Chains A and B, each alone.
Chain A
Amino acid sequence: EEQLVESGGGLVKPGGSLRVSCAASGFNFISYSMNWVRQAPGKGLEWVASISSERTFIYYADSVKGRFTISRDNVKNSVYLQMDSLRAEDTAIFYCAKGDGSAPIGGFDIWGQGTMVIVSS
Chain B
Amino acid sequence: SYDLTQPPSVSVSPGQTASITCSGDQLGNKYVSWYQQRPGQSPILLIYQDKKRPSGIPERFSGSNSGNSATLTISGTQAMDEAAYYCQAWDSSTAVFGGGTKLTVL
Contact = CB atoms under 8 A, between A and B. Distances in A.
Interface residues of A, number: 25
Contact of B96 (A47, A97, A108, A110): A47
Interface string A98-112: 001000111111111
Given A44-B100, A109-B45, A62 B1 contact: yes
Interface residues of B, number: 24
Given A44-B100, A45-B100, A100-B48, A106 B31 contact: yes
A95 B54 contact: no
A79 to B, nearest CB: 15
Interface of B: 1, 31, 33, 35, 37, 42-45, 48-49, 54, 84, 86, 88, 90, 93-100
